[in-house]
Structures are given as C-alpha cells and as structure tokens.
Amino acid sequence: MNLDINKERVQKIGSACRQIKENWLPSAWQALFNACTLCLSPRVFAGLCVYVLSTVLWLVLLTKVPISFLYPLLSFGYVLVLLIGWLGFGEKVSFVRWYGVLVICLGIVFIYSEALVNTHAFLFGATLVALAASILSAKHFVKLQPLS
C-alpha cells in the first residue's frame, strides 16, 4: 500500500514536470528571446546607451558638485520631455502643461539665483504671490479634464 502511494506521488510529480517542460519552458525561452530581440532593436539600444551614459555622467557630477545644487536640475527633464513630445512627435500640449513648464523653469531660476533673493527679497516675494494667484485663477479659466 505504501508503494502505491509513492508511485502515485512520483507519477504526479512526473506529470507536473512534463507540463512545465511542455508549456512553461518554451514560453519562458520565447519571452527571453523576445526581450533580447527588443533590446537589440536600434532605437531601444540607442535609448539604453543614452540611459547608461546619463547615469555615468550623473555619478561623475555627484563626485564634483553638491547634491543640493545638482538635484533640482533634474527638473529640466520634464521640460525636455514636453518639448520632445511637442516638436518631435507632434503631441498637442495644453495651456496648463505650458504653464506647468513655466512654473518649473521659474522654480529652477529661483533655486539657482540666491543673489536675486538676497538683493531683491521684495521682488522675489511678490513674484511668488503673483505666481500663486495666477495658479489659483487659472483653475477658473481652464477646465481641467480628468486623465483617461
């Protein structure tokens, strides 16, 4: 009786291994092949190379420049992606997005211009108040569409 139970278990294990071999393994190899083919596509390969280059450049810059100075510059990535989408791919960019890019650029200017803040504190404060007021008023003039 014990041999019959072990025989059944071995048969079940063998059946499961056969299913894995016949069904899962070929699809896993196919997925790996598809991923390799995709990575060797010229556009994807170029994108990966640019990503690696930017990572290496970022690490080199971090050894030379304080991170508190360097990190806000990453915000230019949002501006760059918007411009590439608009100019390169013909995407329509709404007023609200252009306004957001303007806010990002002004924020970067404010971050990197300590002299402006120190010498013209009133102007800096007034600009921030005007920016906040314009953002609040833009809600009334622009009907925001939900993302879908």
Amino acid at 26: P
Report the alpha-carbon distance of residue 128 to residue 109 in Å, rounded. Answer: 12
Report the pLDDT value the prediction gives residue 145, as an integer from 0 to 100. Answer: 52
pLDDT tens across 111-124, in order? 777 765 666 666 66
Q: Alpha helix locations (H) across the chain? A: 2-19, 25-39, 42-64, 67-70, 76-83, 89, 95-112, 114-119, 121-141
The structure's pTM equals 0.48
Could you state, in order of their start, the residue ranges of all structural domains in the chain? 66-141
pLDDT at 135: 60
- The tens digit of pLDDT for each residue in 43-85 reads 777 777 888 888 888 888 888 888 887 888 788 888 888 888 8
To the nearest whole number, what is the mean pLDDT of the chain? 74
